[in-house]
Amino acid sequence: MPWPFGPSSSSEAPLPQKPRDNKAEGREPAKSWNSLLPKPDPPLQAAKEWAPVFLTAVGSLAAFMFYQSYLRRFAGAASIQENFFRKRSLLGRVTSVGDGDGFHLYHTPGGKLAGWGWLRKIPEGRSNLKGETISIRLAGIDAPEGPHFGRPGQPFAAEAQAHLSKYILHRRVRAHLHKRDQYNRIVATVSTRQPFFKKDVGLEMLKQGLATTYEAKSGVEWGGKESIYKAAEAKAKAKKLGLWSMKASEFESPRDFKNRTQGNEKDKGDIEESAAQKPWWRRWLTGTKRYPADLSFKETIRQKLLLPIEMFCMMINDDQDQSLVDGLFSTGQGLICWLS
């Protein structure tokens, strides 16, 4: 039965509906999800925005690396990095000269261009320089040893130190680093301007006959100048300059001198060590040495042990205590026999 309020026939097709005109009705058209997302900037525009950030980061990194490599000041030998050796050099001012082949350097990276001497002051005085200098050992040479710890020095040690002081003290030098030695000194080839040309400090010491070439079986640093150094030494020796002016019987190289004195110190140390290993009672009786050269071991013990016993016996010596005296005296003699 057809619906009474509907069309006359259910077989009739529905009339097509016209699409709504949103503009005519005052409505906004529907938006897709893609239209809601922000549109990416063009590649050129993105590059322009990120370029300052990138350049700032790269520039900061480059400045930091340049500072670490060229403008960082080293306050001591321990602060120098291992990768600096045989690759880099240090510019600085000599603050003191210890002997004929060593001195202390105050590192001034960048030199005058970095303001050293006119904007940045170099400290003076031992108290202000304490812990702020680098100990430098001249490579390839060995100067006469000066007096140390009560040990006498070699001939021409004072002359070598005086000449080196006159040559480089309070002057700017450049040290080409080679290695760090067992005394935490930096072994380096050092040059300075005298007055307009660069001069090799170690080579000048050899030319004056105030140093010898370094004598060692291995581990010698020459800075690529071994033949030059040995030729300068031979020339000074032929001219009998400095320490080469001594007679052959009187001459002792710095290396031989150190070997001899260190050997004596080692023997002395062995004696003290053996004395320290003795029992406490033996050290008390005989001292640090075995016994005095003019006294035997028994006589030494008699003076330190038996004489006090004898004095005690004399104090109590009477008829009633004669047995006690004899017993103490016999005990002392038996103790001497046992200790010896």
The catalytically annotated residue of 145, 204, 221, 233 is 145
Residue whose C-alpha is closest to residue 160's, from 81, 253, 242: 242
Q: Is 265 noted as a catalytic residue in this protein?
A: no
pLDDT at 94 over 90: yes
pTM, entire model: 0.62
Opening angle at CA 86, ends 81 and 90, nearest 5 = 65
pLDDT score for 113: 84
Rounded Cα gap, residues 137 and 76, in angstroms = 14
Residue whose C-alpha is closest to residue 156's, from 246, 221, 76, 41: 246
- Contact at 8 Å (CB) between 185 and 77? yes
The catalytically annotated residue of 137, 172, 221, 233 is 137
End-to-end CA distance of the chain: 148
Q: Is 120 noted as a catalytic residue in this protein?
A: no
pLDDT score for 137: 97
The amino acid that residue 114 corresponds to is A
Residue whose C-alpha is closest to residue 130's, from 108, 148, 149, 104: 104
Question: DSSP string of 41-99?
Answer: PPHHHHHHHHHHHHHHHHHHHHHHHHIIIIIPPP-SGGGS-GGGTTT-EEEEEEEEEEE
Rounded Cα gap, residues 299 and 292, in angstroms = 10
For the chain, give the percent of residues with pLDDT over 70: 63
* Residues contacting 240, CB < 8 A, separation 6+: 209
3-state secondary structure of 247: coil
Query: Where does the pLDDT of residue 60 fall: very low under 50, low under 70, confident under 90, or very high at 90 and above?
Result: confident
Q: Is 145 noted as a catalytic residue in this protein?
A: yes
Query: Where does the pLDDT of residue 294 fall: very low under 50, low under 70, confident under 90, or very high at 90 and above?
Result: very low
Please give the DSSP secondary-structure letter assigned to residue 192: E
The amino acid that residue 67 corresponds to is Y
What domains are defined for the chain?
Answer: 77-146+153-252 (2.40.50.90), 280-339 (no CATH)
The catalytically annotated residue of 73, 88, 185, 290 is 185
pLDDT 10s digits, 201-231: 999 999 999 999 998 877 889 999 999 999 9
Burial of 289 by CB count in 10 Å (0-12 exposed, 13-18 middle, 19+ buried)?
exposed
| Residue tagged 């480059």 (tokens) | 62
Burial of 176 by CB count in 10 Å (0-12 exposed, 13-18 middle, 19+ buried)?
middle
- Contact at 8 Å (CB) between 89 and 176? yes
Rounded Cα gap, residues 96 and 321, in angstroms = 75
Q: Which has more confidence, 169 or 288?
A: 169
